[in-house]
Amino acid sequence: MPNEEFERLKEALKKAPTPEARKEAAEAMRRYNLSRRGKGSRPTLVSLGMGKTYPNAIPLEKIPDEIEKNPEFYELMKRIVE
């Protein structure tokens, strides 16, 4: 069964990366994190990018903060969940 909070996150990430949209998506990601069934003791989103404005490793609980402050990371999350 699809996770409703994840569906809301997908919807929130469809908008252009305005500060308001980033804040809304960050809130949706926080709610998704709360609803996420625990898997792994310290889950971290990692990437093999070079010269990015976002870190290569972001603990899942820090993703909302990064979405809120960084339009480039918002766009990456948008591409990932679409």
Partner 1 sequence: MPTVLAMADYDLPTRSASGFILRYIAPRMEPVALFSFLDRRLPFQLFAPQADVIIGMGHGEPDIFGGQNDSVILEVGKYDPKEVNGKVIKLLACQCGVELCPDMVGNGAFCALGYKDDYIWVMDADLASIPWSDEMANACLGPVIDGINVLLDGEESQKALDTELLGYSINAEVEEDELIRSCIEFNRKNAVLFGNGDARIRARPKISLPLPPPPLILPLIA
Cβ 33 to partner 1, closest distance in Å? Answer: 9
Using an 8 Å Cβ cutoff, are 75 and 49 in contact?
no
Using CA atoms, how far apart are residues 2 and 58, in angstroms rounded to an integer? 24
Cβ 14 to partner 1, closest distance in Å? Answer: 14
- Give the binding site for partner 1 (CB under 8 A): 2-3, 6, 32, 36-37, 39-52, 56-57, 59-60, 76, 79-81
Cβ 9 to partner 1, closest distance in Å? Answer: 8
